């Protein structure tokens, strides 16, 4: 949220205060560092491969210490979590497969691969990187691998890749928003939220299912050129409220005390808002455009209209008691 507000302030400053210098023309025909290579560039591809492997290793190591170290190892097992968290986590997996495919595509195009090659390899990367987490879940006694998560990862990757195959661009963009509107009172609910979602910004950004919204932003100007501002998007988002457990608002705390807050209805929320397609706001500067493309996976804050309804109650189908809500 703060980063996007800073970005909006920068755009206003750039367009209203700062007088942009005329762009220097590249008359030599040479490819600069910020240009896409017109043919496959082996050096760039090597750097890309090394970078992806390195970042993946760092991410997996961080996940282990941040998320998995607290739970014991077990034999590989599956866990049916399709009914958990009002499916907010499923929306998150779709989003993860999507944006990793988009980032992979852009980097592969930069390295000189064709549109179809970049879309296919990007989807494979997005699916593989996102789904490898299920392997770690499968050996964790607290979690368990999820077939529905694998399906959500594939769905997100295909949403991105299919648009590149059809249009060579993203016209329907999946975006993430952290709202922070759902506050937790002190006492029972506050302690439960702290145990479930953590207290730091990284914890909450990854796990606070009551405060995140997953959006689909449609850019109508890409369907009907000239009829709408190029940057304007119409967005529909999905979120939830009053989630204090995976399947229901009942839990046993670390002291063995039972808590029953089924009086709080678990709500589904449909959100309607506007958004900005950030690359369309670029001045043409290639460094700026690269930054805007990277940040375009986050929704720009706009007012929203909401429709709420109570969620159907799901029964935990896992007789062994494994769950993600402890």
pLDDT at 19: 56
pLDDT at 193: 92
Q: Which residues of 186-213 are buried (b: 16+ CB within 10 A; e: fewer)?
A: eeebeebbeebbbeeeeebbbbbbbbbb
Terminal Cα distance for the chain, rounded = 28
Find tokens 């709500």 and name the residue. 267
Find tokens 């967005």 and name the residue. 235
Separation of alpha carbons 166 and 119, rounded Å: 11
Contacting residues for 2 by C-beta, under 8 A, at least 6 apart:
none
Separation of alpha carbons 144 and 317, rounded Å: 13
How many structural domains does the chain have? 1
Separation of alpha carbons 267 and 82, rounded Å: 17
Q: Which has the closest alpha carbon to 152: 172, 134, 140, 170?
A: 134
In a domain, 319, yes or no: no
SS3 category, 200: coil
Separation of alpha carbons 304 and 311, rounded Å: 21
In a domain, 30, yes or no: no
Torsion sign across C-alpha atoms 8, 48, 68, 244: positive
In a domain, 24, yes or no: no
- The bridge status of strand 304-310 relative to strand 250-252 is unpaired
In a domain, 213, yes or no: yes
Separation of alpha carbons 147 and 126, rounded Å: 16
In a domain, 174, yes or no: yes
Domain that holds residue 203: 2-11+82-310
Could you tell me if 88 and 238 are in contact, meaning their C-beta atoms sit under 8 angstroms apart? yes
DSSP of 251-272: EE-TTS-EEE-TTS--EEEEEE
Contacting residues for 74 by C-beta, under 8 A, at least 6 apart:
139, 140, 141
pLDDT at 203: 81
Instruction: State both tokens at 259.
Output: 């808590």
**Intervals of the chain under pLDDT 70:** 1-5, 8, 12, 16-29, 66-67, 69-70, 317-326
In a domain, 323, yes or no: no
Could you tell me if 97 and 154 are in contact, meaning their C-beta atoms sit under 8 angstroms apart? yes
pLDDT at 323: 41
Could you tell me if 247 and 83 are in contact, meaning their C-beta atoms sit under 8 angstroms apart? yes
In a domain, 17, yes or no: no
Size (the chain), residues: 326
Separation of alpha carbons 280 and 217, rounded Å: 14
Torsion sign across C-alpha atoms 81, 83, 84, 88: positive
Instruction: State both tokens at 100.
Output: 């990793």
pLDDT at 249: 92
**CB-neighbour burial class of residue 306 (10 A; exposed 0-12, middle 13-18, buried 19+):** middle
In a domain, 268, yes or no: yes
**CB-neighbour burial class of residue 2 (10 A; exposed 0-12, middle 13-18, buried 19+):** exposed
The pTM (predicted TM-score) of the whole model is 0.89
């Amino acid at each position: 949220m703060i980063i996007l507000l800073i970005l909006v302030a920068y755009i206003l400053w750039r367009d209203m205060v700062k007088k942009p210098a005329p762009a220097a023309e590249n008359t030599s025909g040479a490819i600069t560092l910020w240009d896409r290579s017109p043919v496959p560039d082996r050096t760039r591809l090597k750097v890309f491969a090394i970078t992806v492997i390195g970042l993946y290793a760092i991410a997996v190591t961080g996940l282990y210490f941040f998320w998995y170290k607290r739970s014991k190892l077990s034999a590989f097992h599956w866990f049916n979590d399709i009914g958990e968290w009002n499916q907010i986590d499923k929306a998150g997996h779709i989003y993860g497969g999507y944006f990793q495919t988009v980032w992979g595509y852009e980097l592969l195009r930069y390295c000189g691969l064709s549109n179809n090659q970049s879309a296919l390899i990007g989807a494979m990367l997005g699916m593989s990187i996102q789904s490898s987490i299920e392997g770690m879940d499968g050996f964790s006694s607290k979690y368990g691998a999820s077939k529905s998560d694998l399906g959500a990862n594939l769905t997100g990757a295909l949403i991105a890749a299919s648009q590149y195959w059809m249009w060579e661009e993203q016209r329907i963009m999946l975006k993430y928003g952290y709202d922070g509107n759902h506050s937790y009172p002190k006492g029972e609910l506050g302690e439960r939220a702290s145990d479930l979602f953590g207290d730091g910004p990284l914890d909450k950004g990854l796990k606070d299912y009551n405060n995140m919204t997953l959006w689909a932003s449609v850019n109508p100007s890409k369907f009907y050129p000239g009829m709408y501002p190029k940057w304007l998007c119409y967005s529909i988002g999905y979120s939830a409220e009053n989630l204090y457990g995976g399947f229901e608002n009942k839990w046993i705390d670390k002291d063995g005390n039972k808590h029953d807050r089924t009086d709080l209805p678990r709500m589904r929320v449909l959100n309607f808002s506007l958004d900005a397609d950030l690359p369309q706001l670029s001045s043409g500067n290639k460094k700026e455009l690269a930054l805007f493309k990277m940040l375009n996976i986050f929704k720009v804050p706009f007012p929203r209209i909401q429709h709420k309804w109570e969620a159907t109650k799901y029964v935990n189908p896992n007789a062994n008691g494994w769950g993600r809500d402890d």
